[in-house]
Amino acid sequence: MKGRLVALDHVNGRAAAALIVDGQLEDFLIDPVDDGPALPGTIYRATVDRLIKGQGGVFLKTPDGNAYLRGAKGRAPGEIMLVQVTGVTEPGKGIPVTDRLLFKSKFAIVTPDRPGLNISRSITDEDLRLTLRAAVEPLCEDDRMGVILRSIAAEADPDEVAEDASEMLDLAHAMDAERTGAPQLLFNGPDAHHMAWREWGIPDDVETEMGCFEHTGVLEQMAAIFADGMALAGGGTLYVEPTRALVAVDVNTGADGSPMAGLKTNIAAARALPRALRLRGLGGQIVVDFAPMAKKDRKQLEQVLTAAFKKDSTETNLVGWTVMGNFELQRKRERAPLVAKDLT
């Protein structure tokens, strides 16, 4: 199966989406359970509850419980403000939010209080940039609202891009008019199907038939992700074990006993790691115990890791090596972690 296929289905009544590239499952999204955390992108009207001295943050009251806002200097208890959910809520913690709202769609992002029209640098065709600017610039009359055109806009009709930007501007103005009143849920973040449309580009084909995860092999490939160890090219194995504090990753060379077995297996693991974390929705602190190899080979492995995560959509910070020889990463919690029972 060649090309990019997007499959939209439901698992246990929850909307789910899968991206398959050349027959391999590359990404998987699923909605949280009905009483689960708010989706990233959700917008609340909230009230400042209490300041957290020494941390520069505040707790806010929302209809769905406490939210936590970092970098909130100058805020006063009782103040009403609009906030947007930035990630997944960890158990026992407040909903992570920001007061710098973004209205993001497939082709355009509207940025309140950051005016101007900006076009993705990856669009290098100067004629196309001028065409897109001419289509969208007339919409940017409000000097409070900025518009960013995403790289995918290069593959769309300029009129379609302008329509997309216009819808986001209308939504931004509607939210801006909701700055007074009691705490309220104003806008739900995108579900799995909407996120697939927004973030996965323009696929070669889309499957929407109920049960399409079966004949496209999605469930089979997801089951392999939760198996005891993920097979690597060359015979090694990658083990991913989430714990309460962090995600532990172990790399095993298997039966290969050659002098370069460690480096070869570690390179294969580095290339596979972003996909393994992405499909399981894992983030936070990640510690990798790579297979034994010479210290002189660490630089090469770091280069492979950097290239692998550069292609990944989730923000990941490659922290570096610990004294004990493990490698640490910090990954944004954009999704609720998946467990095997979510798929059965």
Closest CA to 225 of 12, 5, 30: 30
The residue-averaged pLDDT of 6-12 equals 95
What is the reported pLDDT for 36? 67
Cβ-proximal residues to 127 (8 Å cutoff; 6+ apart), any chain: none
Per-residue pLDDT of 233-292, as tens digits, reads: 888 999 999 998 999 999 999 877 788 899 999 999 999 999 999 999 999 999 999 999
What is the reported pLDDT for 340? 84
Q: Are strands 145-149 and 116-119 parallel, antiparallel or unpaired?
A: parallel
Backbone angles phi, psi at 262, to 5 degrees: -60, -50
| CB distance 315 to 332 below 8 Å | yes
Residue-range domains of the chain with CATH: 4-31+193-215 (no CATH), 43-100 (2.40.50.140), 104-173 (3.30.230.10), 226-343 (3.40.630)
| CB distance 14 to 31 below 8 Å | yes
Is the pLDDT at 73 greater than 80? The verdict is no
The residue-averaged pLDDT of 187-210 equals 95
The residues pairing with 185 across neighbouring beta strands, listed in sequence order, are 44
DSSP class of residue 307 equals H
Tokens 């001028």 sit on residue: 130
Tokens 């927004």 sit on residue: 198
- Mean pLDDT estimate for the chain: 93
| CB distance 188 to 39 below 8 Å | yes
What is the reported pLDDT for 329? 97
Per-residue pLDDT of 140-192, as tens digits, reads: 887 789 999 999 999 999 999 999 999 999 999 999 999 999 999 999 999 99
What is the reported pLDDT for 90? 79
DSSP per-residue codes, 217-256: THHHHHHHHTSSSEE-TTS-EEEEEE-SS-EEEEEE-TT-
pTM: 0.90
Per-residue pLDDT of 59-68, as tens digits, reads: 999 999 999 9
User: At residue 294, what is the residue type?
Assistant: A
Report the 10 Å Cβ neighbour count for 303.
12
Name all contacts of 29-38 with Cβ < 8 Å and 24+ positions apart.
29/192, 29/195, 29/196, 29/335, 30/192, 30/338, 30/342, 31/191, 31/192, 32/336, 36/336, 37/88, 37/89, 37/95, 37/336, 38/64, 38/85, 38/89, 38/95, 38/189
Is the pLDDT at 35 greater than 70? The verdict is no
Cβ-proximal residues to 339 (8 Å cutoff; 6+ apart), any chain: 226
Burial (CB count <10 Å: 0-12, 13-18, 19+), residue 266: buried
User: How many Å is the maximal CA-CA distance in the chain?
Assistant: 68
